[in-house]
Structure 1
């Protein structure tokens, strides 16, 4: 069994952030800015600019992401922050089907997972999910939401699973609270 350690993502660990995000999927082009920028701004921002925006995000006093390590190697990433701190959520029609007020800072969202290709299937995403819940709870979240993919409804490539898999969220105690699209539920876990 792989021993996984979770640490807060930070500017000081930016080399590790880069390693985790560039091991497969869109991490190296998105730099976890999809939920931070509106469509027109995201499209107009270069990958280098997105990288620097992420670096700025990681200077915040409360980390907005966590890193998974196997040994000394950063092998995974999860974005977890309050919904208002992820501006695109407010502009996403499907997310508005959540029963929680969109601007409530006590509602946190898990919005992005990246696991390096060579470490997929080792439980990294599940460890990141559990750590994200603990991180949200420790930082005052009342509710935490996810917007995963229901792989029993739609076959999805590993790259498209950056939202997470519904089965993982349900296994972590989340419940489905809405289903804006057949394969895209909204799940929620009450923390306080």
Structure 2
């Protein structure tokens, strides 16, 4: 799609435009995987918003990528080095396939505004996230999508879905839950 562009998330105004006033999924502000369980529960939505804003405004690298449809921000995909995801590292289900391996980045979250859905935005975001990770030195990009026989609602797909990752060249490398494969793509 020629009017769809993916860029690193370096504009706080654009991230807010995608997430809306509630922070995408009920005030998460894409901090679910970055914080431990107790830390997430102890941090109110406003604090999670501030943490994401600091990552967008002050980090040496973007915490994700944004999709722009005809110049309007409509989608988000979180991508960062594996070690930046406290909850992911501790999870029995989504714990990385090779914890401690250098150069592994994780795609942990997607959010596409209603007006961007059904237009290939999620696939473009995933490809953009992989490209961005590779440009920052990643060797491998991992994802932890949902794999379900039933049709899932948009708010259940923030991890992505198996077919999305397969379409982007990811392969399943491990599965500790019937519905959550760990998928990888080598990039460098």
Instruction: Give yes or no for TM over 0.5.
Output: yes
CA distance in 1, matches of 2:150, 2:59: 36
Measured after TM superposition, the shift of residue 183 of structure 1 is: 1.3
Give the corresponding residue for 2:36. Answer: 38
For residue 93 of structure 1, give the secondary structure of its aligned residue in structure 2. coil
Describe the SS at the equivalent of 1:18.
helix
Distance 2:14 2:34 in 1: 21
What are the superposed Cα offsets for residues 74-96 of structure 1, whole Å, 9 maximum, x if unpaired? Answer: 10000001100122111111233
Other structure's SS at 1:162 match: coil
Does the alignment pair 1:149 with 2:143?
A: no
Number of aligned residue pairs: give it. Answer: 187
Task: Flag the 1:165–1:61 CA change in 2: closer, same or farther, 3 A.
Answer: same
Ranges in structure 1 where 5+ consecutive residues have no aligned partner: none
CA offsets 1:44-75 (integer angstroms, 9 cap, x no match): 11111110000111221111211100122110
Counterpart for residue 177 of structure 1? 173
Normalised TM-score (structure 1):
0.91
What is the aligned partner in structure 2 of residue 139 from structure 1? 136
When residues 95 and 38 of structure 1 are mapped into structure 2, their CA distance, relative to the original with a 3 A threshold, is same
| Alignment equivalent of 1:123, drawn from 94, 105, 120 | 120
Are 1:95 and 1:186, in contact at CA under 8 Å, matched by a contact in 2?
yes
Q: Does residue 1:92 correspond to 2:88, yes or no?
A: no
Deviation at 1:41, TM superposition (A): 1.1
Equivalent residue, structure 2, for 1:22: 20
In the alignment, is residue 5 of structure 1 matched against residue 5 of structure 2? yes
Once the two structures are TM-superposed, the CA of residue 23 in structure 1 deviates from its matched residue by: 8.6
Question: Is the CA contact 1:24–1:159 (under 8 Å) kept in the aligned structure 2?
Answer: no
Specify which structure has the higher proportion of helix.
1
- 1:32 touches 1:112 (CA, 8 Å); kept in 2? yes
Q: Look up the SS of the partner of 1:187 in the other structure.
A: strand
Q: Which moved further from structure 2: 155-164 or 120-129?
A: 155-164
Structure 1 segments of 4 or more deviating over 3 A?
Answer: 23-28
- The structural deviation recorded for 1:149 is 0.7
Structure 1 residue aligned with 2:67? 68
TM-score by length of 2: 0.93
In structure 2, the CA distance between the partners of 1:150 and 1:141, relative to structure 1 (3 Å rule), is: same
